[in-house]
A and B are shown apart, each in its own frame.
Chain A
């Protein structure tokens, strides 16, 4: 229990670092407590839509990278494991996760997210931005430009922009 408390305190510290609102910190702590393997069905009910996480991640807003053939290949190679071949959130891991992978074709939700927020989720992972920890951090796998192009690609998949 001591160790858990220490980790919680650490996460709260990180949250401060990102200047996340206190309510979100509470939620972050909640997400930390809930894991990501399909075990506790109670957590399934919690809709992430309601989380107003506004992490302050350094993402150039206007200059969004172009979607290239490489972007599509990156998405196919890595992201489809959870998000599925067409981005519907039905990849091979999806049935085993507590929080379902986002459907990247759903404009309704993605319109509520800014490009910076999507960028942050991909770069830092779900946990760091108040989302489920089963969305891994890709910041050490791809450079920022690739991540920006992935954001653009997701915008292409949902055929939508941030409102």
Chain B
């Protein structure tokens, strides 16, 4: 019995470093801007990361932390320069080395909301007809394009900039996360600048799949 407990302990402690917070987060001052737990109360100057494991695709995270790109052209919603379109915080963003980024990404992918439901959106892409319908929802019925960049028929970027760009967001965001964001944004953000929509599951799935399909050809 005692031997088994010993073995278990050994396994746990050898696994622990993966789950523990990497020292880069303190050293690089990531907490000056981001929250890694919903219980943290510091001023939020960048997007919350305490549900990063539900939101992001790991490959994108690894890449972003090494060579950050601009997702929010006018800054995060709390940026003092947001209303005038001149962001003051986090652009350019802190950069990590490949190893640091791998450690931090692995850690970030362990951060989840306790009641986050997966399996809401399947992997089957929209048929051509349904996609055209979903594009209508995105551009006309809900006016998403007024605040978010997407691609037009010839692949040119167009759309508003107050929301994060949705171009290539399928490489960045998990489908279930987009779905839940559209249905219950308050679970992730107590007060965003995006309107709350009242859409059924079917509509939310269609729009999610449409968002995932906004991709530039490489």
Query: Number of contacts between A and B (CB, 8 Å)?
Result: 102
List 17 interface pairs A-B (beta carbons < 8 Å), by A numbering.
Answer: A3-B132, A3-B133, A6-B133, A35-B139, A36-B146, A37-B150, A77-B193, A78-B193, A81-B147, A82-B146, A82-B160, A93-B160, A97-B146, A133-B140, A137-B195, A140-B198, A141-B196
A residues engaging B (CB < 8 A)? 2-4, 6-7, 31-32, 35-39, 76-78, 80-82, 85, 91-93, 96-97, 125-127, 133-138, 140-141
Residues of chain B with a CB closer than 8 A to A135's CB: 143, 146
Cβ proximity bits B161-199 to A, threshold 8 Å, 1 near / 0 not:
110000000000000000000000000000101011110
The 9 closest A-B pairs by CB, nearest first: A93-B160, A134-B146, A81-B162, A92-B85, A35-B139, A3-B133, A37-B158, A37-B145, A140-B196
Q: State whether B195 touches A7 (Cβ < 8 A).
A: no
B152 at the interface (CB under 8 A from A): yes
B residues engaging A (CB < 8 A)? 74, 82-85, 129-130, 132-133, 136, 139-143, 145-147, 150, 152, 158-162, 191, 193, 195-198
Contact of A80 among B83, B133, B145, B191 (CB under 8 A): B83
How many whole Å from B22's CB to the nearest CB in chain A? 35
A127 with B132, Cβ < 8 A, contacts A36-B146, A76-B83 known: no
Contact of B143 among A4, A7, A125 (CB under 8 A): A125
Q: State whether A126 touches B143 (Cβ < 8 A).
A: yes
Give the complex CA separation of A152 and B141 in angstroms. 26
How many whole Å from A104's CB to the nearest CB in chain B? 15
